[in-house]
Amino acid sequence: MTKQLEKATFAGGCFWCMVKPFDQWDGVHQVLSGYTGGHTANPTYEQVKAGATGHLEAVEIVYDPAVISYKTILDLYWQQIDPTDDGGQFQDRGDSYRTAIFYHTVEQEQLAQASKQELEESGKFQKPIVTRILPAAPFYPAEEYHQDFYKKNPDEYHADRVQSGRDEFIEAHWTEGNSKQ
């Protein structure tokens, strides 16, 4: 019997910092860095970063829903971002670094909307939750040197996370849950 794998796609700022938190969980088969939500086919990193394509840096997660649920993946996602910042994430500024959940099914859309509402009602953040929930768009894998960056360049990855302020934010806002940063 063949496993029925599904996809989850999230934009959460710099994709280097969005791979490792998902990559380490049972049931996650692949986490690709890439670009989605724009209007140009096969964009390059330089084009996306320049803001010329409308794409966001994102990760596409291939997972086995019999092992890890989409709800669990959503919970992990929220714990990696500042959902109140519409100008980018941490040190990375600009539209290509904004947050978004790209749903692949009606069920994913419903779960994403419910999780956003739950977060809004939790009182965890003083400002409104601005993360968009959008239909999945074509996903273009980033250049090879961006894939698994945390494994290929552990020192640069660690320095970037420290410099960005992401870890401080996560620690300040999430006292429970994911510790696999």
Q: Are 10 and 62 in contact (CB under 8 A)?
A: no
The helix/strand count (H/E) of the chain reads as 7, 8
- Give the relative orientation of helices 154-164 and 16-23 as an angle to the nearest 10 degrees: 110
Kindly state the tokens that stand for 165. 């302020």
Q: Where are the alpha helices (DSSP H) in 7-153?
A: 16-23, 45-49, 70-78, 106-122, 149-152
Candidate list 11, 14, 17, 32, residue with the active-site label: 14
Euclidean distance between CA atoms 162 and 133, whole angstroms: 28
14 is catalytic: yes
- The count of C-alpha atoms lying within 13 angstroms of the C-alpha of 21, restricted to the half-sphere facing its C-beta, is 27
Mutual angle of helices 154-164 and 166-173, in 10-degree steps: 60
Q: Which long-range contacts (CB under 8 A, 24 or more apart) does 111-114 make?
A: 111/70, 111/71, 111/74, 112/74
The residues annotated with a catalytic role in the active site are 14
